Chains A and B, each alone.
Chain A
Amino acid sequence: MVRTSEHRDLFSGALELMILQTLKRKPMHGYALAQYIKAVSDDLLQIEEGSLYPALQRMLKAGFLKSEMGLSPRNRPVRIFKLTVAGCKHLEEQRSSFEKMFAGITRVLAVSQS
């Protein structure tokens, strides 16, 4: 599959942020996570499902997440990803910096439109 630039419109850190936010609400396994992000974002963000996994591994390595065995809605044994304390803290930091950035961008856009 060739990924054209159209599909690559997530800026760095965005995917992580969304994963962390989602998992903070409720620990999930990979498939559920993918489905959830897709459903919530109303298919606006086209994410290749597989691309979650490198991001998940990165955060496991950084200690923001941990995984443990659990059951899927279909009652199959699956690996559930959970936020750690460090993950919570990281999420807060990231959120505030993202919000500042969005605020900045929104203002600039507003000014240049008027």
Chain B
Amino acid sequence: MRWLKQLFTRRRRYDELSESIREHLEEKIADLMDDGMTQAEAERSARRKFGNVTLIEERSREVWQWSTLESIWSDLGYAARKLRKSRGFTITCLLTLALGIGANTAVFSTVNTILFHPLPYRDPGRLVLISESLPLQGSNDVGVSAQEYLDYRSQNDVFSETAAFETADFNLTGTGEPRRINAARISASALPLLGVTPELGRNFSPEEDRYGSDHVVLLSHTLWQSQYGSAPDIVGKSIHLDETAYTVIGVMPASFRFPLDAAPSSERASLWLPMAFAPNLLNPDNRTMEFGVGLVGRLKPDVSPQQVQTDMSQIANRFMRQYGYSGTIRVAPHVYPFSAHSVERARPLLILLAASVFCVLLIASANIANLLLARASARTQEMALRMAIGANRLRLIRQCLVESSLLGLLGSIAGILVAILLVAGLKHFGPTSLPRLQDVAIHPIVLLFAVALSLITSLFFGFAPAWRLSHVPPHASLRAARQANSDRSGQRLQNSAATAQIALAFVLLIAGGLLLRSFTRLLESPFGFDPQNAFVVRTVFDHVRYPDPLKRDVVQKQLLDRLSRLPGISAVAEASHLPLTDTRQIGFRLEHAARDDFHSAENSLVSPGYFHAMGNTLVAGRDFTLEDRRDSPAVAIISQALSSEYFAGRNPIGQRFQWGDRATFTIVGVAADVHVSSLDTDPPPMIYLDMFQIESGVSGKTAFILRGQSAGPELLSAIRGQVWSVDSELPLYEEATLQSLISESLAQRSFTLVLLSAFAVTALLLASVGIFGVISYLIAQRSSEFGVRMALGASRSQITNLVLSRGTRIAVAGCLCGLALSTFASRLLLSSLYRTDWYDPLMPCLVTLLLFVVVLLASWLPARRAAATDPMHALRNE
């Protein structure tokens, strides 16, 4: 407890110490006066012999203190007082840091979660996905076919295990309202390959992975909870999918989201079934009839992705030779890291955001640097004075460090708060199409990085001036301080920081401008349908409930009739696939073309009146009618894109093509182009078929389209009433307005646009603060010079021009650097631009203009102050 006693007796000790020193000096002075000195001489001489009293007292007191800790504490108090006193400086610094740290932490945490989140599987880095493209048909990543999967599985030398998967959906009935649910078929090898076991029950056995004995399911944790109340005895119970009984054999853990690991929860599989390929898919004649099987492989140790690619290509070449793939049917296998395939589409967006937010961080750092430099130079005098009265070098540096770290620390806390807010906002307002968005959490490493960067910046620039000054002997420091006021290197540093800010702001503004332009172009381009006053809702007439297509046709037509009588509805139609929501390709062969000359086109099975209900226009020919029956000649309507690609210069009406072995179709109409997969891809060639004439795998899956004044979500209960009065087991799902389909399709784009614009505006603000700081500082430094100039006859406007010219020089240099940088940076944007050139000349001109206005404004305000200098006052200060 001695330290406690010391703490309380310290004041007395200090007093005694001062007393001792005073006694010492008095004795000495008395002695010296005895030797014949005057009082004043004796005092001076005694003090010189004794040394720096304040310093010695301080050092002696340190003996009783935990010295470093306490002096840092006192430094901290001093720093806090200083920061409180210069409120403008502190607030600007803190806001800058908070924005820089907060925005970066939020964005990089998002990027980390989405792009680099490890999948919950054993050694996920060794998992690859194999998917084929059909280059001659222009189809990418169609998966593989069932038989190809079996070949890859048996012939490869690179995988220790392989598994197949396929997405599916079912009507789940028997648990209240009928529900449409997403599911996945997975081979029995999938779970062992992934290293996952069910949390309840067991995996599929190889016997169950065969057609006919495959009526078993694994439930997702979520489905088990929501539909079965987490019943512990669910295993062994039976559930109904598409009117068929399946036995539950287990429940998967909540973390299991295979195969769409990054998809939003609404698209994830709710249950899993065995792969169990249907016999017709294993018929050699149907080898390339259906793709869509996903192949996952676990790499053997020491096997590289290149080796996998080579091996897969060899196998593909072998089976293409063996089974005589010809014409446009040529497959090219691709190898992807399994973790990447689900986030591929979000990647450019995220990289763009990360790059731009990093620019903001750099600008923020430059701003902090500028502010601290300006402030430090202004404080050189104070430092010099403290040095002259005995503060040592270390002490001054420490003071600066403490002050900068306090600033950095407060900024970091503010930054963390901003980051938390931003992440919450991101989850709330971010596009649902962004994978794993709901999993985003602030990543500690990212936070640490942003905080460290800002701390390093503030420390470095905070203590640079103290360091410089501390190398000067104390008696010269006051003079050095005066020189530092016109210090060239400090000014150069500030100028380059300001120039860098302008350059980065330039780049961000260009990027924001290009995205905005591309966005407006997108909205101006015709959609191909009228999104106003239209409402869609889906249902499925499954094959078990409606085995007879003719009977299904009757029910569907009856429903169409009932729905068209709803008040305020002017048109009703059906379609198997809707633009901007789902797509389906079919392969077709033109009549008289070579036997193996297949092409692919988008396809939808539609009812008569579809084009009218969608607000699409038929540019030639006729619509489907009720006369087109299952026993009448097969007819088709094609899109303009298909017409111009295959019938350029000819009349497509009356031309014929074949789709598989189903029928030969006669083209009876041409419809206006529609954006199918997204608004920013060109409208593809498209074939519409009559759903009451043609039967296919997607028959029965349908969306009702209702157009009219009252078409909206309010109508849903009326629609339900009508549908369920005909069949109460029909699930109704994915209800939406066509307008909302458009905004959903644009969500990612508008999200990018909003974020990037926010970054650009922030950058502009920060840069203008930076310029303002530089110019104000310049004026403070040169006020006496301005005074002299004015005394010698310079007019106020000459002084203003002098100041403005400095701002202009920074702006010119910044814009030039920015222009050079943006030519590189805009390439990053390429994939996000729609019909907008990255070198669009208008944009740099506008941005340059904007930056000049901002820079001139930011320098004009302080310049006005400079011009208002009273020459007498400035000269007197000299």
Interface residues of A (CB under 8 A from B): 1-2, 29-32, 34, 48-51, 53-54, 56-58, 60-61, 67, 72, 74, 76, 78-79
Contact = CB atoms under 8 A, between A and B. Distances in A.
A56 B64 CA distance: 12
Interface stretch (B22-30, B228-236, B279-287, B312-320): B22-30
A32 B27 CA distance: 9
A57 B56 contact: no
Given A2-B473, A51-B51, A54-B56, A34 B24 contact: yes
A49 B63 contact: no
Contacts, number: 76
B21 interface: yes
A79 B52 contact: no
11 contacts: A29-B27, A49-B28, A49-B51, A50-B55, A50-B56, A54-B60, A58-B63, A67-B20, A74-B30, A76-B23, A79-B19
Contact of A72 (B17, B27, B59): B27
Given A50-B56, A54-B56, A29 B23 contact: yes
Most chain A C-beta atoms within 10 Å of own C-beta, residue among B56, B62, B474: B56
Contacts of A51: 51, 56
A60 B63 CA distance: 10
B87 interface: no
Contact of A50 (B23, B52, B62): B52
Most chain A C-beta atoms within 10 Å of own C-beta, residue among B16, B28, B51, B57: B51
Contacts of B60: 53-54, 56-57
Contact of A76 (B6, B21, B26): B26
Most chain A C-beta atoms within 10 Å of own C-beta, residue among B20, B50, B55: B20
Interface string B35-61: 000000000000001111101110111
Contact of B16 (A50, A54, A67, A74): A67
Contact of B17 (A1, A49, A57, A58): A57
A53 to B, nearest CB: 5
A74 B30 CA distance: 9
Contacts of B62: 54
A53 B21 contact: yes
Contacts of B24: 29-31, 34, 49
A6 to B, nearest CB: 16
A59 to B, nearest CB: 9
A79 B17 CA distance: 9
B49 A49 contact: yes
A92 to B, nearest CB: 23
A34 B19 CA distance: 16
Nearest to A53: B60
Nearest to A74: B30
Contact of B27 (A50, A60, A74): A74
B20 A29 contact: yes
Contact of B23 (A31, A49, A57, A58): A31
Nearest to B390: A1
Nearest to A77: B23
Contacts of A54: 56, 59-60, 62-63
Contacts of A79: 16, 19-20, 23
A53 B50 CA distance: 10
B475 to A, nearest CB: 9
B18 to A, nearest CB: 10
A54 B60 CA distance: 4
B19 to A, nearest CB: 7
Nearest to A63: B2
Most chain B C-beta atoms within 10 Å of own C-beta, residue among A32, A34, A53, A78: A53
A2 B393 CA distance: 12
A65 B253 CA distance: 73
A72 B16 contact: no
A8 B158 CA distance: 74
A78 B56 CA distance: 19
A43 B61 CA distance: 28
A34 B27 CA distance: 11
B473 A57 contact: no
B51 A61 contact: no
B63 A72 contact: no
Given A2-B473, A31-B24, A74-B27, A53 B17 contact: yes
Contacts of A34: 24
Contacts of A32: 27
A38 B473 CA distance: 29
Contacts of A61: 6, 63-64
Nearest to B53: A50
A50 B30 CA distance: 17
Contacts of A30: 20-21, 23-24
Contacts of B17: 53, 57
B14 to A, nearest CB: 10
Contacts of A74: 27, 30
Nearest to A49: B50
A57 B34 CA distance: 30
Given A53-B57, A57-B63, 11 more contacts: A2-B474, A32-B27, A48-B51, A49-B28, A53-B17, A53-B56, A53-B59, A54-B59, A56-B60, A61-B64, A76-B26
A79 B12 CA distance: 13
A43 to B, nearest CB: 12
A2 B52 CA distance: 11
B23 A78 contact: yes
B27 A76 contact: yes
Nearest to B47: A50
A2 B91 CA distance: 40
Contacts of A57: 13, 17, 60-61, 63-64
B46 to A, nearest CB: 9
A56 B59 CA distance: 11
A51 B64 CA distance: 16
Given A29-B23, A53-B17, A53-B21, A48 B50 contact: yes
Contacts of A56: 20, 60
A61 B59 CA distance: 14
Nearest to A67: B16
Contact of A31 (B28, B52, B57, B59): B28
A32 B20 CA distance: 12
Nearest to B28: A31
A32 to B, nearest CB: 8
A55 to B, nearest CB: 9
Contacts of B30: 74
A46 B7 CA distance: 34
A61 B66 CA distance: 13
A34 B87 CA distance: 50
Contacts of A50: 21, 50-53, 55-56
Most chain A C-beta atoms within 10 Å of own C-beta, residue among B24, B59, B61, B62: B24
Contacts of A48: 49-51
A1 B52 contact: yes
Interface string B817-843: 000000000000000000000000000
A84 B796 CA distance: 77
Most chain A C-beta atoms within 10 Å of own C-beta, residue among B21, B27, B64, B473: B27
B52 A72 contact: no
In the A-B complex, the 3 residue pairs with the closest CB atoms: A50-B51, A50-B56, A57-B63
A74 B27 CA distance: 8
B23 A1 contact: no
A30 to B, nearest CB: 5
A61 B16 CA distance: 13
Contacts of B20: 29-30, 53, 56, 67, 78-79
A61 B26 CA distance: 25
B211 to A, nearest CB: 90
A49 B21 CA distance: 10
B23 A72 contact: yes
Contacts of B53: 50
Contacts of B57: 53
Contacts of B56: 50-51, 53-54
Nearest to A73: B27
Contacts of B64: 57, 61
A29 B19 CA distance: 11
